[in-house]
Chain A
Amino acid sequence: MVVGFEGNTSDAAASIAYWEGFPVSTISDHGEQCCRIAREWFIGTDFSQLGTGDLRSGPRWLRKKFKWGPSRWPLYWCEAGKEKTLDCGALAALSHQLLLGRGVSSYPAQLILKFNDVSASHWKATWREAGSSSAWIHDGMIYHEGCAVEEESGGIKIWDATATWWINPKQFHGYAGLLALRLYAPSPTTFTWGEERFAANTWHTLKLHRCTSALPRARREEELPVPTAAGNALENTMMINEHGSY
């Protein structure tokens, strides 16, 4: 069922143009023992923390260890372990590496989300105070990162390493709505995410649904044993006004 549908091209197009050249975050390596040890520690800890959970579950423990906030870039493996705060790029890049360490197919994901002005200006101030760039915030939109995990079915699910949840492939217009995404893959491939299908390494604009509407649902007549009456249905909000006393 689609409850209203709204195109998403204009908002997304401007943001995609703005962040087109943004590279996906990666963790750098000194090529020395310091980074070798840190990397082994991250991957070993991830496996220990997994418990009897599934290999394709999200590495939630990262957010227990690290607060979300500005990161220094470039970020080396040996530095990451010492940080108290990491940004979404660092958390996503680490998650991607941990999933690869488990033997799971993972792809870095760039995301464009829409928030409100209050959130955007608050984040700008926070990042400015920390002396970090706020280029990830632009015109009410934010640039975000996660990683996509290939499922056994062949589809993908997308891990938001900052929020520690799997992003809903069905997106709604409004606060925190995902407008567009770009997944990186070493070779050309097509991803299936819910009902979305899109190519790797290029921005994909998502269909956005409206979460409220006032349309009658098309009824599946063949399933109904009795005919349906047409009539002036009351919306539920009206019902409350009519029958409620508050």
Chain B
Amino acid sequence: MKIYIGGLYSGTSPQPGIGLSRSLRTAYPGAYLIGVEYSNRSSGIHWPGFDDIWLQRPWEELDLSTYARSITALLDDGALWIPGTDLEALWLASVFPSGHPSLLSPPHVALNRTSKPEVAAHVGLPVDIPPYISTDEPDWDLHAFCRKHNWRVWLKGPYYEAYRVQSWDSLERVRAGLSRLWHTQRLFIQSHVSGYEESVMLCAYNGELLDAVSMRKRELTEEGKTWAGDVTPLTDDFAAPLREIIRALNWTGGAELEMVRDSQGKRWLLEWNPRFPAWMHGATLAGFNLPALLVESATGIPAEITKVTSEEFTRVVLEIPLRDGYPLPPLPEPYSGSFGHSLKHPSGMPTLAGRLHTLDQEMNQRQSPSLGRPSQKGTSANGRGNLVPTSFLNDLSTQDLNNLDTPSFVFLESTAALLFEKASAFAAAVTTSEQQILNAYSIKTNPDARLLKLALKAGFLAEAISLLEVQKAIEIGWRPENIILNGPGKWWPQGLLPDASLHAIFCDSMADLTRVTTAAEDGRLHAKVFGVRLRLPTSSRFGISIEGPDGLHALVDSIAKFPKDSLFGVHFHMASSSVGVGQWWHLYESMLRWSSSLERLSGRRIDVLDIGGGWFPDDWDSVREPEFMEALKRAKPFLPNVSEVISEPGKAMAQPSMALAMRVLEVQKMTDAPTEAVVDGSIAELPMYFFYPHRILHHNSQTGDLKPIRRGTTRLMGRLCMEHDEVASGVELPEGTRAGDMLIFCDAGGYDRSMSYLFGRG
């Protein structure tokens, strides 16, 4: 019996070849085992369990047609072949779409049904698929997905590799790297599931499930790979539907279903790998020799019985002598300034991926048919992200864009007005006789007088973080009694504090609290509401720390110093756009619990709750009505005496209200690299480029048409002589775009505007 075994890489993310040789040797001591590899850097070629090694040239050199003919001849001759990598299995499926009796690997159609992230074949198994979204979707939707999942997300390659991304700029960076490596833009983002990792390994022949086992990872490498585990038989609730699925797929070969079990015991399927896992020999030690069962079924030659030695296994690191005739190759010289020598993908696996795309155009669909359409479970609605709200277009149509100096911000007046009107109407609608709901506008998000006037007109309070902002609010027309003063530097600069009573003052530290209560006691400071901002453990740099019981004790004692004839309030602001919507709600409830403790321990009633901060406009839109009501409802049992709730949506009011217009200065098309265009805007006008994507419109100066720009491969570089001045990457400029054309970056009315700075203008 001659068996060819692939996947001999044996680094910290090993392939199954060595395990296969050990398990098969147990069952077939006399079998002739030949290891197949594509690089002499794969240390598994030296494993003594192989009788011979068939070392091919790396995938980037291999003539696939010639190689396919060689394998066909071997299989026709009766040799068995067990692939050890996903890509080898994919390629073999393209060579043998209906399989081959000696090829112990799944057919083409089965791979189609098990590709990630959708894993269409999973239906019926007691698992769910974590929410995901294809990077084919507009960036606007990708950002929404990440916010929705609290930035606990993974960016995953089409076959291998996954990177945790926690911010927009890291997502952009990883996406560019993975796309380059795997020769595809088709990546996906998947929500993280916290829990314990476990797998199901199976083997099947011609659609008959031969056996399957469960394995729980008991030790993991830094990359999350198995280092130790325990193996048990598969329970019937899993095995029964799996048997049906395997039959429907007509599966042949090994497979591994990788899962995470969350704290409620629910299993989430991450991947269905079309090959045996590298830990498979651990199952053999537990008496489950699945490779032997597979060979037994394929050949009819009985395997020797595998004894149970341990149902728990671990890995160790071993030094072994080299196989005669395969000396170590020299290490490539490191690039100047780089560190170390990577052993990753020594066989040229990424090149194989690229070649498969070229060889078989269908492969794009096969690798993940689910990636070509919007996610069922993500936030995406088909193409929604490319759609710019009609009010933006209406506002832009009133501008003389052809004669606009660029770069410049364009105020979207009716868009802004509508935002304030809606917020005002909402506050009025939810106000009751027991509880008044007030809106507040955060001046720092954009102190443009037009926005401030709209806020004032809509009945907003003004929220200031400095006395300069207080003065600005007064200039616009706010009375001091409608101004909230907040933040760590609110008394700066000295001498600008109005004599009249403010609406609210929230203390940001114990020192601030002492200053405020002393000034109030002396009659130098007046406000309707005095209160505190709490710094919840692990959440923020702002607010009064309650890191230890002593901190809480000091705060409880100090609350008694606030004027008795004023109301007492708690202020909670957290940027939901950076912590994620779910985490914001958790922190909100956490704040309610702390506030309830404060009320109970200090005996001081909490009358006012100031909540909000940093909402992404879309999140605020979706939250405003049902969830704000939910927020009020949740607060009731914790703080039953609150008579005033101040809602401060932060940048949600300002961000949509302005766009940044810039012009193309130069377009450089290159044959072997992405197109590059230079614009007269820059990160000096768009400093939030690193934090979230902006929807971009192309203005046709001839027709006046405004068209959304889609994803592509063009880089838009700013005018500054700064390496990091890139205002967009991976966009598709319309055909014929040339110097002088205008691009309009929407969603630039918040911190883009207020934090923009003068640079490179002489």
Whether A40 is near chain B, meaning CB under 8 Å from some CB there, is yes
Bound-state CA distance A226–B210 (Å) is 10
B539 in contact with A48 (CB, 8 Å): yes
Of chain A, the residue at the smallest CB distance from B285 is A236
Kindly state whether residue A50 has any CB partner on chain B within 8 Å.
Answer: yes
Instruction: Look across to chain A and name the residue whose beta carbon is closest to the beta carbon of B580.
Output: A52
Is B593 touching A245 in the complex (CB atoms < 8 A)? Answer: no
- Nearest CB on A from B132, distance (A): 18
A residues in contact with B320, CB < 8 Å: 244-246
Type the 1/0 row for A200-244, where 1 means its CB is closer than 8 Å to any CB of B.
000000000001111111011001111111111111110110111
Q: Would you give the 0/1 interface string for B289-317, flagging 1 where the beta carbon is closer than 8 Å to chain A?
A: 00001001100101111111111100000
Interface residues in B19-50 by Cβ distance below 8 A to A read 22, 25-27, 29, 48-49
Instruction: Evaluate contact between B302 and A54: CB separation under 8 angstroms.
Output: no
Contacts of A226 in B (CB 8 A): 296-297, 300, 302
| A34 CB contacts on chain B under 8 angstroms | 553
Given A37-B553, A37-B556, A44-B590, are A225 and B311 neighbors across the interface (CB < 8 Å)? no
Complex: A151 Cα to B318 Cα, angstroms: 42
Residues of B near A131 (CB, < 8 A) are none
Q: Which residues on the B side are within 8 Å of A217 (C-beta)?
A: 286-288, 306-308
Digitize A16-51: 1 where CB-to-B-CB distance is under 8 Å, 0 elsewhere: 000000000000000001101110111111011111
B211 within 8 A of A: yes
Residue among A40, A235, A246 making CB contact with B601, cutoff 8 Å: A40
A38, B556: Cα distance in complex, Å: 12
**Interface 1/0s, chain B 193-218, versus A by CB < 8 A?**
01000000000010011110000000
User: In the bound complex, what is the Cα–Cα distance between A48 and B27 (angstroms)?
Assistant: 54
Interface segment out of the listed B260-268, B447-455, B691-699: B260-268
B474 at the interface (CB under 8 A from A): no
Count chain A residues whose beta carbon lies closer than 8 angstroms to a beta carbon of B. Answer: 61
- What is the CB-to-nearest-CB distance from B252 to chain A, in angstroms, rounded to a whole number? 12
CB of B284 within 8 Å of the partner chain: yes
Check B209 against A54 for contact (C-beta < 8 Å). no
| Contact status B594-A232, CB under 8 Å | no
Inter-chain contact B264/A54, CB cutoff 8 Å: yes
Question: Does A129 make an interface contact (CB < 8 A)?
Answer: no
- Cβ of B536 under 8 Å from chain A: yes
Known A-B contacts A236-B284, A239-B22; the reply to A47 vs B589 at CB < 8 A is yes
Asked if B432 lies at the interface with its beta carbon under 8 angstroms from chain A, I say: no
Question: Nearest Cβ distance between residue A138 and chain B, in whole angstroms?
Answer: 28
Query: Would you call B305 and A233 a contact (CB within 8 A)?
Result: yes
- Whether A215 and B552, one on each chain, are in contact in the complex, defined by CB atoms closer than 8 angstroms, is no
Q: Is B321 positioned at the interface, with any CB of A under 8 Å from its CB?
A: yes
Asked if A3 contacts B582 (CB within 8 A), the reply is no
Please state if B305 and A231 are interface contacts (CB–CB under 8 Å): yes
A215 and B549 within 8 A (CB) = no
**A172 is an interface residue with CB less than 8 A from chain B:** yes
Complex contact B263–A211 (CB within 8 A): no
Is A7 part of the binding interface, using a Cβ–Cβ cutoff of 8 Å? Answer: no
Query: Are B150 and A52 touching (Cβ within 8 A)?
Result: yes
Residues of B within 8 A of A33 (CB): 556, 601
* B756 contacts partner chain A, Cβ-Cβ < 8 Å: no
Q: Which residues on the A side are within 8 Å of B22 (C-beta)?
A: 236, 239-240
Q: Is the CB of B304 within 8 A of A231?
A: yes
A14 to B556, CA, bound (A): 51
Query: Known: A40-B552, A40-B597, A41-B546. Contact between A54 and B262, CB under 8 A?
Result: yes
Taking CB atoms, residues of chain A closer than 8 Å to B263 are: 53-54, 56-57
Of all chain B residues, the one with the shortest Cβ separation from A55 is B263
Cβ–Cβ contact B303 & A229, under 8 A: yes
Docked-complex contact B48 and A243, CB < 8 angstroms: yes
Residues of A within 8 A of B307 (CB): 214-217, 233, 235
Query: Residues of B contacting A236 with CB < 8 Å?
Result: 22, 26, 281, 284-285, 309
- Do residues B552 and A227 form an inter-chain contact, with CB atoms below 8 A? no
Known: A230-B305, A231-B304. A216 touches B26 (CB 8 A): no
Nearest neighbor of B21 in chain A, beta-carbon distance: A243
Inter-chain contact B303/A52, CB cutoff 8 Å: no
A228 touches B552 (CB 8 A): no
Q: Tell me how far the C-beta of A225 lies from the nearest C-beta in chain B, rounded to whole angstroms.
A: 5
State whether A153 touches B265 (Cβ < 8 A): yes
CA distance A227 to B297 in the complex (A): 9
Give the CA-CA distance A152 to B309 in the complex, in Å.
35
Tell me the complex Cα distance, A36–B546, Å: 15
B708-732 interface bits toward A, Cβ cutoff 8 Å, 1 = contact, 0 = none: 0000000000000000000000000
Q: Judging by beta carbons under 8 Å apart, are A3 and B211 in contact?
A: no
* CA gap between A211 and B538 in the complex, in Å: 42
Contacts of A240 in B (CB 8 A): 22
Report the minimum CB–CB distance from B194 to chain A (whole Å): 7
**Nearest chain B residue, comparing its CB with the CB of A214:** B307
Q: How far is the CB of A140 from chain B (nearest CB, A)?
A: 22
Query: Is there an interface contact between B308 and A215, defined as CB atoms closer than 8 Å?
Result: yes
Q: Which residue of A lies closest to B263 (CB)?
A: A54
Q: Are A233 and B306 in contact (CB under 8 A)?
A: yes
Complex: A230 Cα to B307 Cα, angstroms: 12
Any chain A CB within 8 A of the CB of B586? yes
How close is B365's CB to chain A, nearest CB, in angstroms? 33
Question: A180 near B: Cβ within 8 Å?
Answer: no
Given the complex of chains A and B, what is the CA–CA distance between A214 and B310 in angstroms? 8
Q: Tell me which residues across on chain A come within 8 A of B285, comparing CB atoms.
A: 236
Partner of A48, one of B284, B538, B600: B538
Task: Decide yes or no whether B364 CB sits under 8 A from chain A.
Answer: no
Q: Taking the nearest CB of chain B, how far is it from the CB of A232, in angstroms?
A: 7
Quick check: is B537 within 8 A (CB to CB) of the other chain?
yes
The one of A1, A152, A228, A232 in contact with B233, judged by C-beta atoms closer than 8 angstroms, is A1
Contacting pair A246 B321 (CB below 8 A): yes
The verdict on A78 contacting chain B, using a C-beta distance below 8 Å, is yes
CB-contacts of A190-207 with B (<8 A) = none
Residue A82 is within 8 A (CB to CB) of chain B in the complex? yes
Interface residues of A in 61-88 (CB under 8 A from B): 78, 81-82
Nearest-CB distance from B359 to chain A (Å)?
A: 35
Q: How far is the CB of B159 from chain A (nearest CB, A)?
A: 30
Q: Which residues of A contact B288 (CB under 8 A)?
A: 217
Assuming the contacts A57-B263, A213-B310, A220-B211, asked whether A36 and B601 have C-beta atoms less than 8 A apart, the reply is yes
Report the nearest B residue to A232, measured CB to CB: B304
Query: How far apart sit A45 and B547, CA to CA, in the bound complex (Å)?
Result: 8
Chain B residues lying within 8 Å of A40, measured Cβ to Cβ, are 552, 597, 600-601
Q: Which of B526-582 contact A (CB under 8 A)?
A: 536-539, 546, 548-550, 552-553, 556, 580, 582
A41-B546, A226-B297, A235-B307 as given contacts; A1 in contact with B232, CB under 8 Å: yes
What residue in chain B is nearest A3 (Cβ atoms)?
A: B311
A245 to B300, CA, bound (A): 31
Query: For the complex, is B583 an interface residue (Cβ under 8 Å from A)?
Result: yes
8 tightest Cβ-Cβ pairs between the two chains A and B: A229-B302, A217-B287, A81-B549, A54-B263, A40-B597, A231-B304, A41-B549, A233-B304
Q: A3-B310, A50-B586, A231-B304 are in contact. List 20 more A-B contacts (CB 8 A).
A: A41-B546, A44-B552, A44-B593, A44-B597, A47-B589, A49-B537, A51-B583, A52-B586, A54-B264, A78-B549, A213-B310, A217-B308, A225-B210, A229-B303, A231-B302, A236-B26, A239-B29, A246-B318, A246-B319, A246-B320
25 contacts between A and B (CB under 8 A): A1-B232, A1-B286, A44-B546, A47-B590, A52-B150, A52-B152, A53-B263, A78-B549, A152-B265, A211-B311, A216-B307, A217-B287, A217-B308, A219-B305, A223-B210, A223-B211, A228-B305, A233-B306, A234-B304, A239-B29, A243-B48, A244-B49, A245-B320, A245-B321, A246-B318
